[in-house]
Amino acid sequence: MQSEIAEKLPIGWYLKEADSLITHFTNNAFETYQINRFHWQVLKNIDTHGKISKELYYHQVNRFLSEKELDELLESLIVRNWIQFSANHYSFTDTGKQEYIAIEALQLKNKEKVMEGISTEEYLAAINFLEKMIRNMGGKI
């Protein structure tokens, strides 16, 4: 097994390459909506929780977006009338909820394409492996 591992590139290369391709694939798919992967993640979080606070959400994404970038992203969704800000939380407008439904349908097709040929067991094994690595290095899940 060690010789098989030695023949592969370092794991960091695969992680960065997969993340880069997921971002590129998602951004290309969402071009017609003029949004990107990070817009989608905000919208998905709002759908999941009903509303989000910037502070709690930023804690989840601060490795990927600066606070200024998140502010700009949220503002761009407000300007489109997709989300609103009230009582220190962001939530959907009626327009935003309808747009989200259309974008979610597209994202489901994207996910099917990305996951083509990958079983649930393979996916979960990869997630479990990465969680163990993260914990081994002192990270938290």
Q: With 80 as the cut, is the pLDDT of residue 2 above it? A: no
Residue 140 scores a pLDDT above 90: no
* pTM attached to this predicted model: 0.84
Q: What does the domain layout of the chain look like in residue ranges?
A: 2-116
For the chain, percent of residues with pLDDT exceeding 70? 99
How many other CB atoms sit within 10 Å of the CB of residue 66?
Answer: 11
Give a three-class secondary structure readout of the chain.
CHHHHHCCCCHHHHHHHHHHHHHHHHHHHCHHHCCCHHHHHHHHHHHHHCCECHHHHHHHHCCCCCHHHHHHHHHHHHHCCCEEEECCEEEECHHHHHHHHHHHHHHHHHHHHHCCCCCHHHHHHHHHHHHHHHHHCCCCC
- pLDDT tens digits, residue range 26-68? 999 999 999 999 999 999 999 999 999 999 999 999 999 999 9
Nearest to 41 by CA among 20, 15, 66, 23: 23
Which pLDDT belongs to residue 6?
Answer: 82
- Band (pLDDT 50/70/90 cuts) for residue 1 is low
pLDDT digits (tens, 9 = 90+) for 79-118: 999 999 999 999 999 999 999 999 999 999 999 999 999 9
What's the CATH code, domain 2-116? 1.10.10.10
Residue 33 in contact with residue 99, Cβ under 8 Å? yes
